[in-house]
Structure 1
Amino acid sequence: MHIPVINSIYDVSLSKLLDTAINNKTKPLGSLGALESLARQIGLIQRTEHPQLTKPAILVFAGDHGIVAENISAYPQSVTWQMVENFLAQGAAINVFARQNQCALHIIDAGVNHDFGPRKGLIHRKIAPGTRNFAQEAAMTPAECSRAMEHGMALVSAIEAKVIGFGEMGIGNTTAAAAIMHKLTGIPVANCVGAGTGLSTEGMLHKQRVIERAVAHHSSVTDPLDVLSTFGGFEIAMMVGAMLRAAERRMVLLIDGFIVTSALMIAARLQPAILDYCVFCHCSDENGHRQMLDHLGARPLLQLNLRLGEGTGCALALPLLQAAVNFMAEMATFESAQVHEKME
């Protein structure tokens, strides 16, 4: 498998041009705060003083996890395929928010333990009907992991978009994400584990112990791709590949919550410059996400106490990105407005 090569967006001359354009708008210097940083970042990604956000898209990857056999979820595994049906029926939160923002939504079966048959609106890329139980054996073989990543790359290659968001659905995937987080950061498992779909304190303690036993069982695993294949899910692996290809194509990457960020952590170990292309949409209410963001040096746009997944944070952040490119395109300059003194 070929890993896409991602270059830094840093460009001294373009950065100066963007700063000049931003600072010449009719406002005090820096007064649009994070929107100015967004406008600069999007301009550098797109290599232009006139950034645009045409055809935004969100990809929602669904997959099941063998680790649910360890009773680590408040919901049964069948909820994964039932929620995919809800996506297809246009009834989930992500459907509502994507429609609200005129954002294309793509639903991908990466490895759900259910036979959907031919379905309009569902992209079939099933690697297997769920991963194996990583408490006992690796979740995926290296070949399965590579195939999932390649599917993710191919999906992004087929999409014409300047901004792309990532979402997921999979009962058990907060357990996989917590294990990945621990392996990549060394942060104690207790600080990586959260309520997921709504576990009690006792349930979270059980989940913590399951992960601790699993990482001890796979103690020799350190390489990022080995961490992914050992503890990840098909939807997480597919997102890793999709993110890498999206950055290679100089798209703006919208990063949702805990599970999506775990995929990004793998991608960033493979190609560190991918972080230049990422907009961190929010800080999830899932325990551990704040520490994930801190580890990556990320500043999230929103704090809404979300912990739903599905890419909902991406859709909710889209209007802020649109505002950033709109002020660049439409806001008057001091010269055009005939304002002769810049505001301090």
Structure 2
Amino acid sequence: MENIKAAIEAHLDDLTKPRGSLGKLETYCVKMAEIQGRVPPKLEKKGIYVFAGDHGIAAEGVSLYPQEVSRQMVLNILAGGAGINALAGGTGWDVTLVDAGVIGEDFPPDNEIKPVCSFVRARIGSGCRNSFKEDALAPEETERALARGKALAQDAADRGLDMTAIGDLGIGNTSTAAAMLVAAGFNIDDMVDRGTGIDDAMLKHKLQVIQGAVKSRNPPKDGRSILQKLGSFDFAMMAGFILGLEGKGIACVLDGFPVSAAAYMAYMINPKVRDWLFAGHLSKVAGHKPLLEHMGLDPIVNLDMRLGEGTGAVIGGHIVELGVRAAREMASFSQGRVSDSEKAEKKY
């Protein structure tokens, strides 16, 4: 790894520009080279997996939106009308929608819509249980969901993807994310905010529900147990996807708060996952910043976004791609076209 780091830094320093002048684009390029084990890295194929699932805790009235919105938004993505469709199309990402447990046994009916993007039926159940009242998943369901996430990581490798991203979709998922992180040791006041714009009374209720769920379930501080007792099918699949990328030479860009919470569960299981993760953006959701800081991930952009679906991830990943393109396409001083500086440059 040190040899790769030294080689990519030497490559970047030989490009026809002042040393270090591309700033963080060079930092991202170095990380891509380390992930891929090649100099310069390449980024020819990018794919985002949007994990959709329903959350039993939504029954406690923690969101302004009814639970059927999850299904409606899945259909919107499959029809090509969602934010992620627009932004992924504009930045060159292939979209795969994963049904990781949306409510409804036959979802969506094959004759209901003709998807414009890839669609994977990975459901294990029709929404997880209400963690305020009982464990969200059974232990065997948790393991199956982790395994299905890992299988999708293998799918990414089979497709020849150089970079992946993860998006989320599901009413109640910020409450699930907050509950998991509070159980992991984060302060509840830092992890819970207004989400979709709830008022003071609803915020107080949301805090009480999350606190009650964590107290009732009381999982040990390990990623698998927290996913089982307080998580969901989609969160476990996202965590499994991240874990499954180990050794595959594929980068993964995280979206906002729910995706990053799932990544934190993967991080608790295997801290090495940080080596192939990028934080696509800093969400406007309050808990996202301390969560990323704890994992040592620096968000690529901060655009005050909080849509989800992977929208921030595809923007951040596109910026990483620009750094890789510079490393691959710029001329070098050693090619003799431009004179290098006569004195050693100081990097800032």
TM-score, with length taken from structure 2: 0.92
Kindly provide the amino acid, as one letter, of the partner of residue 230 in structure 2: F
Give the distance between the partners of 2:302 and 2:228, measured in 1 at CA. Answer: 31
The residue correspondences of 1:291-330 to structure 2 (distance < 5 A) are: 291-330=290-329
Unaligned runs of 5+ in 2: none
**Distance of aligned partners of 1:290 and 1:19 in 2 relative to their CA distance in 1, 3 Å threshold:** same
Q: CA offset at residue 47 of structure 1?
A: 0.6
Runs of 4+ aligned residues of structure 1 deviating over 4 Å after TM superposition are: none
The structure 2 residue matched to 1:84, chosen from 74, 81, 89, is 74
The residue correspondences of 1:115-264 to structure 2 (distance < 5 A) are: 115=106, 116-118=108-110, 120=115, 121-159=118-156, 160=159, 161-184=161-184, 186-264=185-263
Q: Secondary structure at the match of 1:247?
A: coil
Kindly provide the amino acid, as one letter, of the partner of residue 239 in structure 1: M
Give the distance between the partners of 1:98 and 1:24, measured in 2 at CA. Answer: 33
Kindly provide the amino acid, as one letter, of the partner of residue 42 in structure 2: Q
Give the distance between the partners of 1:203 and 1:340, measured in 2 at CA. Answer: 62
Give the distance between the partners of 2:342 and 2:305, measured in 1 at CA. Answer: 40
Q: CA offset at residue 252 of structure 1?
A: 0.6
1:66 correspondence with 2:63: no
TM-score, with length taken from structure 1: 0.93
Contact 1:28–1:342 (Cα < 8 Å) also in 2: no
Give the distance between the partners of 1:122 and 1:16, measured in 2 at CA. Answer: 41
Q: CA offset at residue 213 of structure 1?
A: 1.1
Give the distance between the partners of 1:193 and 1:171, measured in 2 at CA. Answer: 15
1:4 paired residue number: none
Give the distance between the partners of 2:263 and 2:6, measured in 1 at CA. Answer: 29
1:107 paired residue number: 97
Kindly provide the amino acid, as one letter, of the partner of residue 117 in structure 1: P
Give the distance between the partners of 1:63 and 1:112, measured in 2 at CA. Answer: 4
Identity of aligned residues (%): 35
Give the distance between the partners of 1:270 and 1:84, measured in 2 at CA. Answer: 29
Q: CA offset at residue 342 of structure 1?
A: 5.3
Q: Secondary structure at the match of 2:168?
A: strand
Q: CA offset at residue 230 of structure 1?
A: 0.8
Q: Name the count of aligned residue pairs.
A: 333
Contact 1:240–1:267 (Cα < 8 Å) also in 2: yes
Contact 2:154–2:244 (Cα < 8 Å) also in 1: yes
Contact 2:282–2:299 (Cα < 8 Å) also in 1: yes
Q: CA offset at residue 220 of structure 1?
A: 4.5
Kindly provide the amino acid, as one letter, of the partner of residue 96 in structure 1: A
2:285 paired residue number: 286
1:26 correspondence with 2:12: no
The structure 2 residue matched to 1:93, chosen from 83, 87, 95, is 83
The structure 1 residue matched to 2:7, chosen from 5, 17, 24, is 17
Deviations 1:141-193 (A, max 9, x none): 01111111111111221232110000010100000000111122x22212110
Contact 1:247–1:253 (Cα < 8 Å) also in 2: no
